[in-house]
Structure 1
């Protein structure tokens, strides 16, 4: 019997400010596994919806907002309190 693992239940890598290259590689791999890396790599803006948007425009807009929010939440959840405080002060 094969046991299926839900990857989103695996804790994200923790970055404490040491060895940035290793932390960046681990985070990139983690975001790729969650299908979130593309949103991070593209660094796109989520434009406002036009007046009377189509259903497809609604769907795309929601997906892009969700990807950005998930990326941000994942990144902030992975840093130590000290680093989080530095980020928030910028």
Structure 2
């Protein structure tokens, strides 16, 4: 579930984890129990799963600085069959 930021007139800002359906509902401040309105902030990307964070970071880096290949990689050759009934194919 997403984390939303709300503002209380007395205590300042606080964060709540709630469903998207309840995102616009006012929230009770955990300090004074007054109602606080939602504050629109940037997404909380710092709380991503570590593997997802690495994927997002590497995707951003590759779009800015793609790796340049200076040679054609060698072709992968299939492994020979271990079964004696399979004849070897001629090589070009």
Structure (1/2) with the larger helix percentage:
1
Q: Structure 2 length as normaliser, TM-score?
A: 0.22
Higher RCO by CA contacts (8 Å cutoff, separation 6 or greater)? 1
Q: Structure 1 length as normaliser, TM-score?
A: 0.23
